[in-house]
Amino acid sequence: MQVIENAIGGKRVVSTSGRKASVYNPATGEQIAELPLSAGGEIDAAIAAAKAAQPEWGNTPPHKRARVMFKFKELLDRHAADLAREISREHGKTHDDALGEVHRGIECVEYACGIPELLKGAFSRNVGPAIDTYSDRQPLGVVAGITPFNFPAMVPMWMYPAAIACGNTFILKPSERDPSAPMLAWDLLMEAGCPDGVLNVVHGDKEAVDHLLDHPDIKAISFVGSTPIAEYVYQRGTRAGKRVQALGGAKNHMVILPDADLDQAADALMGAGFGSAGERCMAISVAVPVGEKTADALIERLRPRVESLKIGPSTDKDAEMGPVVTSMHRDKILGYIDKGVEEGAELVVDGRGFTLQGYEGGYYVGGTLFDRVTPEMTIYKEEIFGPVLSVVRASDYSQAVQMINDHEFGNGTAIFTRDGDAARDFADRIEVGMVGVNVPIPVPVAYHSFGGWKRSLFGDHSIYGPEGVHFYTRLKTVTTRWPAGIKSGAQFTFPTL
């Protein structure tokens, strides 16, 4: 049985905590690895290694830090398929989907390659008599990231490339479900010449997270995961005096106006609703056709496609989606489908009872489509995080907008239409952080930033891109004057220039 190691101070080390969790292959249900649930002392060792490495790394010229990022990017490109295989084996997503994740992660490394330019400050000459002022952004020190299971390579790369390029050192606590891709990425970063202790990886559960949240040497926490934990991490971390960005769950709606190209809309819903078995925080889980005619025509297109979704293990090149991540998560999704039926939604395609021949132990759920879902129903209010698409019929455009604005989550949304005025109005009025116009999954590119509104994000900063650089640095402004410019005599009034 493979034993997952921690990475502390430039070395892979076997945990001695004695507490363990199991890692499974969701396609087969087999246990494939044992993961340590690290104890406080091990987290302390990682923090100490990061703290020891930070002063020298923080003083390394930005272009030299960028050179490590360039080499890291080359190695990631070369090993993209290896990373994708590790992701698929432990997460279950298809190989191409995993490759897509790796490439979106690499884009964040590419952005970090530009760190000398991104950290360039501002200078003003002669702000007063012989006085100059400059501002620049400096690293925070040791920072930490806690990540979810659904993007084991990409989400950590939303965090540590920017954080370390800015001159911080980093502790990563990946998801317990799929630890191998972040460990392979750590190996590649070390091969790229990153000094020991700059990136440390510790595996663990709540105990490890709480230790990071409370530790006085950790200056900032980036968290991505479910909303209840995001809120908890934000509250506990800020109470301990840290800067925290905590990204949470989602319920993303796609509005389909009567003038939309319905074939395109149906294609978009299939990919965005069922890709990665719906385990994406930007998945579309609610379709909102406007008007009965639009709704009927949409259901007519979706039904046969959901019924014939190709489901298989990641090794099946034709599979459109794989299993969900754990048996517990599968049971939770099945429970939501039961609840939808109980609460009166119309089950158009039932994914319960799906099994895959030869993979009977795997955690598969068939594609599921509900019609006539209403905002009072549990399956509308809560994030299911599975291959379940709900159709909520809206009588008009205003009702669709109101419904989205009333929802507790505000991560992503999309509108499908040919009407530029409607699209512009939607982008203006919708209370959601990331909006797509005829784009179902509007995940911003790496040189913009990612973040939801409402209970999809706790904290003042979105993640990666320019907001990432701001999050991992603090501003210092220096005002200078030299003896030749100083008049003698004390000045007791407040200085005006």
Is position 209 an interface residue for ligand NAD (rule: CB under 6 A)? yes
Residues 264-293, mask of contacts with ligand NAD (x by CB under 6 A): -----------------x------------
Minimum CB distance to ligand NAD smaller for 156 or for 289: 156
Minimum separation from the CB atom of position 432 to ligand NAD (A): 12
- Using CB under 6 A, pick the residue from 141, 323, 452, 465 that binds ligand NAD: 452
Minimum CB distance to ligand NAD smaller for 281 or for 286: 281
Minimum CB distance to ligand NAD smaller for 151 or for 397: 151
Minimum separation from the CB atom of position 276 to ligand NAD (A): 11
Token reading at 339:
């609840």
Cα dihedral angle (172, 177, 181, 184), rounded to 10 degrees? 70
Minimum separation from the CB atom of position 244 to ligand NAD (A): 13
Is position 28 an interface residue for ligand NAD (rule: CB under 6 A)? no
By CB under 6 A, the residues from 34 to 63 that bind ligand NAD are: none
Instruction: Tell me the window of 131-139, 171-179, 288-296, 356-364 that interacts with ligand NAD (CB under 6 A).
Output: 171-179
Minimum CB distance to ligand NAD smaller for 65 or for 280: 280
Token reading at 404:
């989205």
Is position 200 an interface residue for ligand NAD (rule: CB under 6 A)? no
Q: How many residues bind ligand NAD (CB under 6 A)?
A: 27
Minimum separation from the CB atom of position 482 to ligand NAD (A): 48
Alpha-carbon span 142 to 254, nearest angstrom: 40
Is position 456 an interface residue for ligand NAD (rule: CB under 6 A)? yes
Instruction: Tell me the window of 15-23, 140-148, 313-321, 394-402 that interacts with ligand NAD (CB under 6 A).
Output: 140-148
Minimum CB distance to ligand NAD smaller for 176 or for 371: 176
Minimum CB distance to ligand NAD smaller for 265 or for 434: 434
User: 9: alpha, beta or left, given left = phi > 0 and alpha = psi -120 to 50?
Assistant: left
Note whether 115 and 160 are within 8 A (CB). Answer: no
Minimum separation from the CB atom of position 72 to ligand NAD (A): 22
Residues 218-257, mask of contacts with ligand NAD (x by CB under 6 A): ------xxx--x-----------------xxxx-------
Note whether 63 and 52 are within 8 A (CB). Answer: no
Minimum separation from the CB atom of position 384 to ligand NAD (A): 10
Minimum separation from the CB atom of position 305 to ligand NAD (A): 24
Minimum CB distance to ligand NAD smaller for 221 or for 423: 221
Beta bridge partners of 435: 413
Token reading at 244:
């925290």
- Using CB under 6 A, pick the residue from 54, 94, 169, 175 that binds ligand NAD: 175
Alpha-carbon span 171 to 161, nearest angstrom: 12
Minimum separation from the CB atom of position 297 to ligand NAD (A): 30
Residue for token pair 């949240």: 213
Minimum CB distance to ligand NAD smaller for 57 or for 274: 274
Minimum CB distance to ligand NAD smaller for 139 or for 322: 322
- Using CB under 6 A, pick the residue from 86, 97, 101, 176 that binds ligand NAD: 176
User: Which residue's beta carbon is nearest to the bound ligand NAD?
Assistant: 225
Residues 407-446, mask of contacts with ligand NAD (x by CB under 6 A): ----x-----------------------------------
In whole angstroms, how far apart are CA 331 and each of 57, 138, 377? 46, 47, 19
Note whether 312 and 279 are within 8 A (CB). Answer: no
Burial (CB count <10 Å: 0-12, 13-18, 19+), residue 176: buried
Residue 80 phi, psi dihedral angles, 5° rounding:
-55, -40
Minimum separation from the CB atom of position 111 to ligand NAD (A): 17
Is position 180 an interface residue for ligand NAD (rule: CB under 6 A)? no
Which residue numbers are catalytic?
281
- Using CB under 6 A, pick the residue from 148, 278, 362, 366 that binds ligand NAD: 148
Is position 206 an interface residue for ligand NAD (rule: CB under 6 A)? yes
Minimum separation from the CB atom of position 199 to ligand NAD (A): 16
Name the site residues for ligand NAD (rule: CB under 6 A). Answer: 146-151, 155, 173, 175-176, 205-206, 209, 224-226, 229, 247-250, 281, 383, 385, 411, 452, 456
